[in-house]
Amino acid sequence: MSRPAFPATAADYQALARARLPGFLCDYIDGGASDEQTLRANVEDWHGVSLRQRVLVDVGKVDTRATLAGQPCALPLALAPVGLAGLMAQRGEVQAARAAQALGVPFTLSTVGICPLDEVQAATSVPCWFQLYMLRDRGIVRALLEKAWASGCRTLVFTVDLPLPGMRHRDTRHGLNAGGLRPALVRARQALARPGWLWSVALGGRPLTFGNLSAQVPNVRDLDAFKHWVDSQFDPSVTWADIEWLRGLWPGTLMLKGVLGIEDARQALHVGAQALVVSNHGGRQLDGVASTARKLPEIVQAVGAEIEVLVDGGVRSGTDLFRALALGARGVLIGRPWVWALAGAGEAGLRALIASWQRELLLAMTLAGVTRVADIDSSHLDRVAQCATP
């Protein structure tokens, strides 16, 4: 994959990121579960959604603005939570939050990010969204919710598809799933091959701790110790009753991320969630499940009139964003693309990527003959390939 002098697409930024990051971080971001069938399908199945071009329509004033979770946005796009994003660029979550605010889209801070919530909020004037998992220690969950609310967060993105981590073979090959000296040496060798990253991030980006969990995790600076703690905290016994408990604690918008079926979408509505994200965790959990492009239409048809439906997984352009809207989504979350842009070209690169997607969305709307995001629907599809139909 060659490095472009002037990056234009998400793939261009991916090439820049792979040239700058140690190998284990590249594969941590790029990899999926098992044979990565779902990872590939997430990207490919958007391409099966064909758009309908229109001509001689008055498109003199096209407006990409939208509202997501009650928040006005320059376009219906949000930056998804990505764990360890602060290892991809110096104080990565802070840079991403600043870029998102500058371009008018929400940023979601992961519980397992490097930069703590207080630091991210201090760098921006618009509160971020906050992502959380259900941990065995409900006291930690309660404390994190209270801190998020006190800091100004009003949208909670609660991840529901991680009772256990998926089988991510790329991480295994780099020793990320094992402790001890040999895996540490493998990672160290890869880091030494990227002196720019060592200087800017490993040294200049300190402290490299899991900031939101510093009060809860013993040896928070130790990656192996952190992994052991996280593995012990994932709770496979969580049920919808726990989400009802959560709903009682969180007075703001509750968005459930990781819904992939009609039954679960209806249950999300039943427990009081105001929004859901059709997601298979970027193909990082159960390999072989359907792509989000396939599942989105049936979920929108089942509950879209009663709950805000967003989608993530495989969206790689503003045109893909248009496709998602035409299939019924209110908006899109992106993960890998924003990390590639940040790692490859810094905050300026991420701003450029978001701005490029906004231009692509505007162009798609213009050529499809639609002037408002709210008016994009299935009438703007020429055909929906079998992969994207219910």
Residues designated catalytic: 281
Cα separation, 101 vs 214, in Å, equals 26
Tokens of 254: 């509750």
Listed residue (98, 161, 172, 101) closest to 313, CA to CA: 161
Q: Which residues does residue 254 pair with via DSSP β-bridges, in sequence order?
A: 156
DSSP 8-state code for residue 135? B
**277 three-class SS:** strand
Q: Which residues does residue 372 pair with via DSSP β-bridges, in sequence order?
A: 63
Omega prior to 207 cis, within 30 of 0:
yes
DSSP 8-state code for residue 5? S
Cα separation, 364 vs 71, in Å, equals 23
Say how many CA atoms lie within 13 Å of 370 toward its Cβ: 23
Cα separation, 91 vs 375, in Å, equals 38
Whether the CA torsion 222, 280, 154, 100 is positive or negative: it is: positive
Listed residue (86, 7, 46, 9) closest to 313, CA to CA: 46
